[in-house]
Amino acid sequence: MKEDLLKEVYAGMGISREVYEYGERTLAALEDRFRRIDEVSEYNQLKVVRAMQECRVSEACLLGTTGYGYNDLGRDTLEAVYAKVFHTEDALVRPQITCGTHALALALMSNLRPGDQLLSPVGKPYDTLEEVIGIRPSRGSLAEYGVSYRQVDLLSDGSFDYENIRNNINEHTRLVTIQRSKGYQTRPTLSVERIGELISFIKGIRPDIICMVDNCYGEFVETIEPGDVGADMVVGSLIKNPGGGLAPIGGYIAGKRECVENAAFRLTSPGLGKEVGASLGVLKDFYQGLFLAPSVTASALKGAVFAANLYEPLGFSVVPDGTESRHDIIQAVTFGTPEGVVAFCQGIQAAAPVDSHVTPQPWDMPGYDSQVIMAAGAFVSGSSIELSADGPIKPPYAVYFQGGLTWQHAKFGILKSLQTLLDRGVLLHI
């Protein structure tokens, strides 16, 4: 195909020749990175297919049940597939788990009892978990049920504070929660290998402590998952990586049989557990989404790497930086001005397949202490494996963005964000 044809189609979508060519120069230097991302995705694709084959996924598994959902072959087989993919004894994968926070709350609340203590050895957990734990007082929190909480922050260089972790483990410590992704913080995301080191350290002190990993945004970024390095529970959302963009709802908990069963008895009811919970019509999307997840995650990763390398030379600070190895799909870019944050997010929105004609504005979102602007033109509402961005309107004026069901769309969205910055005069030249 003539290169001119591509330039033309981009021009028709509002991307100037200058921005297009800057993008191509950036890409030319990323061949090696992209090849390595493709290799991981190839490995994970085979891992998923193998698990589906070994579990004898059949056409009947794609159908759903109604009512109580007894003998739901597709649901039970899918849970076996997840357990194989994450190398755990068992898994709970359900549309009744409404989101990632719910999956994490379920894992915690079902495996902790009054008098137990929860420890986070990796600093403050994701915002929404503050109310689950009761760090911010909240109705129904773990704190209300007599579960206490301790936290040990990472050291300033991002390493584990082993001494303080040891000092904060006592006879009440029942569960340790380890968040893989940095979420919306500036600390580094943890590699699975580092998570394994931390788990070994904790098990070395008390082998009966349950180690749970918040795996959100991390699935399929590496060839191994936390279950490979000793995690007792691995927890995540299906409207992020493992849903592959197709799952319309859902969460998963993969782990030790006892932990997963505890979660099932809490999700449904004591005595019922995994036996009930109709899958309705979502199974085909759960299976097909998982099948696509390795390649969708690779697309999102390429987008993140591309954006870091596009914005860094323009003087904006980016986390992770252009060359760092990746352990999740989130990319932060600091613009330093509200106008920069707004232009970026509006650019991402303008590139969306759905709702591209609406212009997101900063608003007072519940639970946040500043206005927030969000860009999301997604097929699944709120899905952040689809190209999406959000930025709190407060210093340092950074945006966090992630996702992209296809690399080609992620690329277009990122070019569109840069074009919007230029068109608004937030950025004067490239």
Ligand X SMILES: *Cc1c(COP(=O)(O)O)cnc(C)c1O
Determine contact, residues 160/168, Cβ cutoff 8 Å: no
> Which stretch, 194-202, 214-222, 253-261, 413-421, contacts ligand X (CB under 6 A)?
214-222
Q: Given the complex with ligand X, which of 179 and 417 has the nearer CB atom?
A: 179
d(CA 344, CA 390): 9
In the complex, minimum distance from the CB of residue 309 to ligand X, in angstroms, rounded to a whole number: 23
Q: Given the complex with ligand X, which of 55 and 235 has the nearer CB atom?
A: 235
Reading the block at residue 91, the tokens are: 């898994």
d(CA 381, CA 400): 18
> Which stretch, 95-103, 223-231, 372-380, 387-395, contacts ligand X (CB under 6 A)?
95-103
In the complex, minimum distance from the CB of residue 80 to ligand X, in angstroms, rounded to a whole number: 24
**CA atoms lying within 13 Å on the CB side of residue 174:** 18
When binding is defined by CB under 6 A, the residue of 92, 169, 216, 343 that contacts ligand X is 216
> Which stretch, 83-91, 179-187, 319-327, 358-366, contacts ligand X (CB under 6 A)?
179-187
Residue 81 in the binding site for ligand X (CB under 6 A): no
Residue 380 in the binding site for ligand X (CB under 6 A): no
Subset of 217-246 contacting ligand X (CB under 6 A): 217, 237
Q: Given the complex with ligand X, which of 106 and 308 has the nearer CB atom?
A: 106
Residue 214 in the binding site for ligand X (CB under 6 A): yes
Determine contact, residues 424/350, Cβ cutoff 8 Å: no
Q: Given the complex with ligand X, which of 55 and 296 has the nearer CB atom?
A: 296
When binding is defined by CB under 6 A, the residue of 117, 177, 181, 191 that contacts ligand X is 181
In the complex, minimum distance from the CB of residue 382 to ligand X, in angstroms, rounded to a whole number: 7
The phi-psi region of residue 140 (left if phi > 0; otherwise alpha if psi is between -120 and 50; otherwise beta) is left
CA distances from 250 to 50, 246, 367, 413 (A): 23, 11, 22, 26
Give the angle subtended at the CA of 265 by the CAs of 264 and 269, to the nearest 5°: 120
Tell me the H-state helices in 206-316. 257-267, 283-311
When binding is defined by CB under 6 A, the residue of 183, 273, 360, 391 that contacts ligand X is 183
Subset of 256-295 contacting ligand X (CB under 6 A): none
- The two beta strands, 173-179 and 117-120, are parallel
> Which stretch, 178-186, 201-209, 357-365, 413-421, contacts ligand X (CB under 6 A)?
178-186
When binding is defined by CB under 6 A, the residue of 77, 88, 101, 417 that contacts ligand X is 101
In the complex, minimum distance from the CB of residue 205 to ligand X, in angstroms, rounded to a whole number: 25
Residue 179 in the binding site for ligand X (CB under 6 A): yes
In the complex, minimum distance from the CB of residue 157 to ligand X, in angstroms, rounded to a whole number: 21
Q: Which of 370, 364, 414 is nearest to 388 (CA)?
A: 414
Per-residue interface string for the shown chain with ligand X, residues 112-151, x marking contact by CB under 6 A: --------------x-x-----------------------
User: Cis bond leading into 95, ω under 30°?
Assistant: no
The residue with its CB nearest to ligand X is: 100
Reading the block at residue 123, the tokens are: 């600093």
Q: Which of 212, 205, 198, 196 is nearest to 255 (CA)?
A: 212
DSSP-derived letter for residue 399 is E
In the complex, minimum distance from the CB of residue 245 to ligand X, in angstroms, rounded to a whole number: 14
When binding is defined by CB under 6 A, the residue of 40, 78, 99, 178 that contacts ligand X is 99
In the complex, minimum distance from the CB of residue 313 to ligand X, in angstroms, rounded to a whole number: 28
Tell me the H-state helices in 113-191. 127-133, 162-167
d(CA 178, CA 209): 13
DSSP-derived letter for residue 312 is G
Alpha-carbon Rg for the chain in angstroms:
22
Q: Note the residues at the interface with ligand X (CB under 6 A).
A: 99-101, 104, 126, 128, 179, 181, 183, 214, 216-217, 237
